[in-house]
Amino acid sequence: MNRIWLFVITVLLAGCDQHVWNDPYPAHDSGANILYSSFEERPKHLDPAQSYSSNETEIISQIYEPPLQYHYLKRPYTLIPQTLSAMPSVTYLNAAGRILPHDAAPDSIAQSVYELHIRPGIHYQPHPAFALDDHGQLRYAHLSANDWRHIHHWQDFRQLGTRELVAADYVYEIKRLASPQVNSPILGLMSEHIAGLQEYADRLSVLAQGLPENAYLDLNRYPLAGAEVVDRYTYRIRLKGKYPQFLYWLAMPFFSPVPSEVDRFYHQPGMTERNFTLDWHPVGTGPYLLSENDPNRQMILTRNPNYHGDNYPVSGEPGDAAAGLLRDAGKPLPFIDQEVFSLEKETIPYWNKFLQGYYDLSGIGSNSFDQAIRVDAQGQPQLTDEMRRKGMGLATAVTASNSYVGFNMLDSVVGGVSERARKLRQAIAIAVDYEEFISIFANGRGIPAQGPIPPGIYGYDDSGADFNPVVYHLVNGKVERRPIGDAKRLLAEAGYPDGRDAKTGAPLVMYLDTPAAGPDAKAGFDWMIKQFAKLNIQLVVRSTDYNRFQDKIRHGSAQMFVWGWNADYPDPENFLFLLYGPNMKVGKNGENVANYQNPQFDALFDKMKYLDNGPERLAIIRQMVDIVRTDSPWLFGYFPKAFGLRQAWMSPTKPNVIANNTLKYRKIDPLLRQQLRKKWNRPVLWPLLALGGLIFALLLPAIWAWRQRERSVAK
Amino acid sequence: MMAYLIRRLFYAVPILLGVNILTFLLFFVVNTPDDMARMHVGRKHVTEQAITQWKVEHGYDKPLFYNRAEHGVSSLTDTIFFNKSLRMFALDFGASDDGRDIAREIKTRAGPSLAIAIPVFVLGLLVNVSFALMMVFFRATYLDRLGVVTAVVLMSISGLFYIIAGQYFFAKLWHLVPISGFAAGLDSWRFVLLPVLVSIVAGMGSGTRWYRSIFLEEMSKDYVRTARAKGLSEWRVLFRHVLQNGMIPILTGAVVVLPLLFMGSLLTESFFGIPGLGSYVIDAIQAQDFAIVRAMVFIGSVLYIFGLWLTDIAYAWADPRVRLS
């Protein structure tokens, strides 16, 4: 008995020191230079030719280095070389192969030739695929079953190697985009631009048919017209016609270098069975390598010992210095040794762990919004006192994305460019109050959209003077939503006075298709029904599963639907093409899901996409925006605003809604983190004693009753 | 007995085949191979060529059950059903649609699931039977009534509440254990403690009431009266005789779930960040990964059949009157 009490006292005394019990990480990491974050869903692909989702690019962008990257601090977003010695040069050729001047008419340009020169001396991360034997041959190019016996991870190979990055690696990756074994999501799009890519894909498909499963298809044996190696450090990409936006693609992981020996290494027999694939074990030249990939629990990025180095930018926007963003100007990157991503599926444990200091960064969910943010008298979001006490910092940024309701322009009621249909759409656009929506459903985190182009993208006017005159008007110099009377008038002009068909007297019934369901979504739908009811329009919400919803969109059988777009790159073309006729969904499988067609808009788009940013381009963009405001093929909805919290030990970071390779700029103070974690997480032991006491108190009468019963005489 | 058990094993074959066909039909009624391809290829810039390519790469370009383009046996074997479902009878689970080896994945995830499920099962059984016996011991007293009321209250509360409350008090407020996460090896006890405690408490209400009713029924039997008449203490009557005779229903409930422990618990694993099998199926359904769904349903069926088989053996062991023939 005495021993038990001794144990209890020891435990209690142990709790009196500053040891932390609830730390989910190993004790030896507590003072290490590690950034802790989480992932909610396991990434599907880590192959740069396949990854497209944000949770995938967030990881591989720290590993792979496409030739270009975005300047960390400059806005508007500016492309700069990443592995290149200078920005790519472009030469325009006509159909006869003659060089054209840079201001040549787009129609006269048959080919654009981009020449890219990479910096010598860049090396890949350590990897067995590069290991050489005594004869200078690849050591693990022909593995047998025996070699596999004790291998569970690529670090388990006895010998790791590296090699210099060469131009051929970039060309190899462009060829991989066409490989049937890879099935890249951008093959269709890039086939329209890269010379010969579609023909190359067709050829590879035929070649792959005769190969056994997982066999290596050596792309080096088959040249691609649109991508060629010039010399060890130079390569060329040939595009059909002119496509200035191609430079933005060169900053995306799709155009990262992949060494052919790595691809060959992962295609050896037995690799797939052990989950050894390029899709799970990326190999790059970037600042980090994926040292642990257990997507069921944890993924760890560790500093790449072979990283060529980079420096923190020395200049940015006005205000960056005052915000502390230039404190590390010129210092070598990266700052952090590791980033640990832990699987965290639920928001409540995630948020609580962030508050305990076990995550360094956090977004703000609806459930935790009130705990983290209060809105001041000027309507600006501020941290609550609790967050301030913890020394947290807040960063907000409008995302390069939109959320809108699309009208199917092929629909017999809301579609088409007739006056009747246009006025109906305009009336609905006035009635659906997105200011209210943002306030109720997004905690104020959003900006009502005045058109298809979000803030931060060229063509967006942030002076406050630009607004959608169909939906808003000026009242005492202030932009306000038009009164519902205007909407009713438009509705009557459209032939539906008071929400009824003027000819038949039948009530106007409209349909909104959505894949969303459940109590959370229902609140939003009820709100939407209420908005339509302002015009006496009966809105029917048709919730369906994701597959059927996509099916309806593809076949153009939905009348209205909720949709959104996340920018691939910061160019207005990437938003305006969502309304470009030849890009419509029905029949052409494009991204214009509203199936909007307006010849004037399309002609302007064809002109605008070739122009450099400048007054001429801006004027055309404005014209295009005015056209779609009038036609109203979308309820433009809103541009979501992202709120990010950082702990006191993190240096200020600048939100970047386009680039993903930002881990190298992050910096933490691990000692401050260690101190604060201890302070915030001292074990509280009295409840255990109280619980023990309660159990004892409950047991006492039971023991007493038992003894009474045992002593009593049977009746 | 052996002949009976072997016969039961053979009965399993048509059951498994039926389960396989049913899973296959249900999955493909809701999802077409095109839907699956679209889900995997992505949502932006997806072309018909990419869809077709994905189907060819993953073997979903074939007919579901019967291939008219083939002749003889190939017309049945060169189908999605044969290639994707029937191969599992040879325990060949293949790769998931994102290319990961399913057998390896199951092996990796089974450990964390069992690290939670086994303590919950053993300790839960112990706690529930003990409380039930205590309530029977104090039957018709205020302690029994208090116990029943507590059990009903415990039963009425959602499992999610226990998880959130457990995390709030033990991890967030008192800082005694990590809120969520998992570690390999011996360090895992810190992460397992709270989910085990929460799961036991969440199951106590129904478990205690179930065992109490079993023991109360036994208490009214003649042999209990005889035992008391012989002067045995109430304690001895309960633990020596009632408990032993109550074993059959306890075994029925317990043994059948024993193999299913392997499958893990969705809610617990999800909230505590346990990388087990519980969330594997749900994730697969959301990702429309038929390869994982069919493999997990198949394993679930095999384990359930195995559980029933074990129950039969346990009956014969616990009650000598039961003869398997």
Chain B positions in Cβ-Cβ contact with residue A684 (cut-off 8 Å): 173-176
HSE (CB half, 13 Å, CA atoms) of A475?
6
Q: Quick: pLDDT tens for A462-481.
A: 887 899 999 999 999 899 99
Q: From B48, which residue of chain A is nearest by alpha-carbon distance?
A: A589
* Partner residue opposite B180 with nearest CB, options A344, A550, A685: A344
Interface A:B, Cβ pairs < 8 A: 164
Residue B262 pLDDT greater than 80, yes or no: no
pLDDT confidence bin for B192, thresholds 50/70/90 = very high
Q: Token match 């017999």: residue? A: A412
Q: Give the closest-approach CA distance of A304 to chain B in angstroms.
A: 25
Distance CA(A699)–CA(B85), nearest Å, equals 55
Residue B23 pLDDT greater than 90, yes or no: no
Contact indicator for A276, A292 with CB cutoff of 8 Å: no
At residue A104, the pLDDT reads 92
Chain A positions in Cβ-Cβ contact with residue B45 (cut-off 8 Å): 185-186, 188-189, 591
Cα R_g (chain B), whole angstroms: 25
Residue A1 pLDDT greater than 70, yes or no: no
Residue B4 pLDDT greater than 90, yes or no: no
Lowest mean pLDDT among A214-228, A424-438, B89-103: B89-103
Contact yes or no for A353 and B283 at CB 8 A: no
pLDDT confidence bin for B266, thresholds 50/70/90 = confident
Non-local CB neighbours of A103 within 8 Å, separated by 6+ positions: none
CB count, 10 Å around CB of A229?
17
Chain B positions in Cβ-Cβ contact with residue A272 (cut-off 8 Å): 95, 99, 101
Distance CA(A626)–CA(A466), nearest Å, equals 11
Average pLDDT, chain B: 86
At residue B236, the pLDDT reads 87
Contact indicator for A591, A582 with CB cutoff of 8 Å: no
Whether the bond between A570 and the residue before it is cis, its omega within 30 degrees of 0, is no
Distance CA(A635)–CA(A488), nearest Å, equals 17
Q: From B95, which residue of chain A is nearest by alpha-carbon distance?
A: A273
Contact yes or no for B138 and A297 at CB 8 A: no
Chain B positions in Cβ-Cβ contact with residue A186 (cut-off 8 Å): 45
Q: Quick: pLDDT tens for B31-45.
A: 888 888 888 877 677
pLDDT confidence bin for B245, thresholds 50/70/90 = confident
At residue B80, the pLDDT reads 87
Residue A145 pLDDT greater than 80, yes or no: no
Distance CA(A233)–CA(A11), nearest Å, equals 64
Report the run of H or E that residue A172 belongs to, with start and end: helix A167-176
Does the domain formed by A61-285 have CATH 3.40.50.620? no
pLDDT confidence bin for A706, thresholds 50/70/90 = confident
Q: Quick: pLDDT tens for A517-535.
A: 777 789 999 999 999 999 9
Contact yes or no for B45 and A188 at CB 8 A: yes
Chain A positions in Cβ-Cβ contact with residue B95 (cut-off 8 Å): 272
Residue A359 pLDDT greater than 80, yes or no: yes
| % pLDDT > 70, chain A | 97
Contact yes or no for B44 and A568 at CB 8 A: yes
At residue A8, the pLDDT reads 54
Residue B324 pLDDT greater than 90, yes or no: no
CB count, 10 Å around CB of A505?
7
Distance CA(A454)–CA(A461), nearest Å, equals 9
Distance CA(A626)–CA(A635), nearest Å, equals 14
- Mean pLDDT over B48-60 rounds to 85
Which residues are paired to B99 by β-bridges? none
- Mean pLDDT over A265-278 rounds to 85
Tell me which of B217 and B325 has the higher pLDDT: B217
| % pLDDT > 90, chain B | 27
> Does B54 contact A at CB distance below 8 Å?
yes
Contact indicator for A275, B100 with CB cutoff of 8 Å: yes
pLDDT confidence bin for B325, thresholds 50/70/90 = low
Which residues are paired to A397 by β-bridges? A642
Contact yes or no for A188 and B49 at CB 8 A: yes
Non-local CB neighbours of A355 within 8 Å, separated by 6+ positions: A390, A680, B172
Non-local CB neighbours of A670 within 8 Å, separated by 6+ positions: A31, A32, A33, A34, A649
Q: From A544, which residue of chain B is nearest by alpha-carbon distance?
A: B30
Contact yes or no for B175 and A682 at CB 8 A: yes
Contact yes or no for A183 and B57 at CB 8 A: yes
pLDDT confidence bin for A373, thresholds 50/70/90 = very high
Adjacency order of strands within the sheet including A288-294: A34-39, A338-343, A298-303, A288-294
Q: Parallel, antiparallel, or unpaired: how do β-strands A393-398 and A227-231 relate? A: unpaired
Distance CA(A635)–CA(A97), nearest Å, equals 46
Q: Quick: pLDDT tens for A247-262.
A: 999 999 999 999 999 9
Q: Give the closest-approach CA distance of A188 to chain B in angstroms.
A: 6
Chain A positions in Cβ-Cβ contact with residue B97 (cut-off 8 Å): none
Chain A positions in Cβ-Cβ contact with residue B169 (cut-off 8 Å): 687
At residue B204, the pLDDT reads 93
From residue A116, alpha-carbon distances to A244, A252, A310 in Å are 15, 15, 19
HSE (CB half, 13 Å, CA atoms) of A146?
1
Report the run of H or E that residue A234 belongs to, with start and end: strand A234-240
> Does B29 contact A at CB distance below 8 Å?
no
At residue A15, the pLDDT reads 47
Contact indicator for B273, B236 with CB cutoff of 8 Å: no
Best A206, A280, A345 member to test B by mutation, with max B CBs in 10 Å, is A345
pLDDT confidence bin for A129, thresholds 50/70/90 = very high
Whether the bond between A76 and the residue before it is cis, its omega within 30 degrees of 0, is yes
Residues 80-109 of B with CB under 8 A from A: 95, 98-101, 104-105, 108-109
Tell me which of A629 and A375 has the higher pLDDT: A629
Non-local CB neighbours of A159 within 8 Å, separated by 6+ positions: A128, A131, A139, A140
Task: State the alpha helices, DSSP H only, in A298-373.
Answer: 347-355, 366-372
Q: Token match 């099962």: residue? A: B121
Chain A positions in Cβ-Cβ contact with residue B178 (cut-off 8 Å): 22-24, 353, 358
* Partner residue opposite B176 with nearest CB, options A21, A275, A358: A21
At residue A2, the pLDDT reads 56
CB count, 10 Å around CB of B277?
27
Q: Parallel, antiparallel, or unpaired: how do β-strands A338-343 and A34-39 relate? A: parallel
At residue B65, the pLDDT reads 85
Q: Give the closest-approach CA distance of B176 to chain A in angstroms.
A: 6
Closest CA to A110 of A126, A123, A97: A97
At residue B101, the pLDDT reads 85
Non-local CB neighbours of A487 within 8 Å, separated by 6+ positions: A426, A427, A428, A430, A431, A534, A535
At residue A76, the pLDDT reads 87
Give me the amino acid identity at B42. G
Tell me which of A3 and A157 has the higher pLDDT: A157
One-letter-per-residue 3-state SS of A586-599 = CCCCCCECCCCCCH
Q: Give pTM, 2 decimals.
A: 0.89
Contact yes or no for A21 and B54 at CB 8 A: no
Q: Quick: pLDDT tens for A38-47.
A: 998 888 899 9
CA A650, A654, A660, A664 torsion-angle sign:
negative
Tell me which of A595 and B293 has the higher pLDDT: A595
Residue B6 pLDDT greater than 90, yes or no: no
Distance CA(A588)–CA(A508), nearest Å, equals 31
Average pLDDT, chain A: 92
Instruction: Round to the nearest angstrom and report the end-to-end CA distance of chain B.
Output: 6
Does the domain formed by A401-642 have CATH 3.10.105.10? yes
Residues 270-329 of A with CB under 8 A from B: 272-275, 277, 279-280, 294, 296-297
Query: Which two structure tokens, joined as six digits, stand for A251?
Result: 């900053």
CB count, 10 Å around CB of A134?
6
Q: From B28, which residue of chain A is nearest by alpha-carbon distance?
A: A547
C-alpha A643, offset from chain centre: 15
Which residues are paired to A404 by β-bridges? A563
Residues 517-546 of A with CB under 8 A from B: 545-546
Which residues are paired to A113 by β-bridges? A91, A238
Chain A positions in Cβ-Cβ contact with residue B108 (cut-off 8 Å): 294, 296
Distance CA(A355)–CA(A332), nearest Å, equals 31
Q: Quick: pLDDT tens for A285-307.
A: 999 999 999 888 899 999 999 99
Instruction: Round to the nearest angstrom and report the end-to-end CA distance of chain A.
Output: 38
pLDDT confidence bin for B90, thresholds 50/70/90 = confident
Chain A positions in Cβ-Cβ contact with residue B98 (cut-off 8 Å): 44-45, 279
Q: Give the closest-approach CA distance of B264 to chain A in angstroms.
A: 14
Residue B138 pLDDT greater than 50, yes or no: yes
Tell me which of A684 and B10 has the higher pLDDT: A684
At residue A9, the pLDDT reads 54
- Mean pLDDT over A653-676 rounds to 94
At residue B285, the pLDDT reads 81
Count of H-run helices and E-run strands, chain A: 20, 25
> Does B30 contact A at CB distance below 8 Å?
yes
Query: Which two structure tokens, joined as six digits, stand for A689?
Result: 């004693």
Residue B255 pLDDT greater than 80, yes or no: no
pLDDT confidence bin for A5, thresholds 50/70/90 = low
* Partner residue opposite B179 with nearest CB, options A42, A352, A710: A352
Chain B positions in Cβ-Cβ contact with residue A371 (cut-off 8 Å): none
For residues A50, A55, A61 and A64, what is the CA-based torsion angle, rounded to 10 degrees?
Answer: -40
Closest CA to A52 of A644, A566, A579, A656: A566
Query: Which two structure tokens, joined as six digits, stand for A612?
Result: 């450099």
Chain A positions in Cβ-Cβ contact with residue B35 (cut-off 8 Å): 547, 550
HSE (CB half, 13 Å, CA atoms) of A360?
24
Burial B174-188, CB ≥16 within 10 A → b, else e: bbbbbbbbbbeeeeb
Residue A49 pLDDT greater than 90, yes or no: yes
Helix B102-137 to helix B142-156 angle, to the nearest 10 degrees?
150
How long is chain A? 715
Give me the amino acid identity at B314. A
Q: Give the closest-approach CA distance of B161 to chain A in angstroms.
A: 12
* Partner residue opposite A550 with nearest CB, options B38, B109, B172: B38
Contact yes or no for B174 and A684 at CB 8 A: yes
Chain A positions in Cβ-Cβ contact with residue B171 (cut-off 8 Å): 22, 352
Which residues are paired to A405 by β-bridges? A562, A635
> Does B285 contact A at CB distance below 8 Å?
no
Q: Give the closest-approach CA distance of B325 to chain A in angstroms.
A: 44
pLDDT confidence bin for A4, thresholds 50/70/90 = low
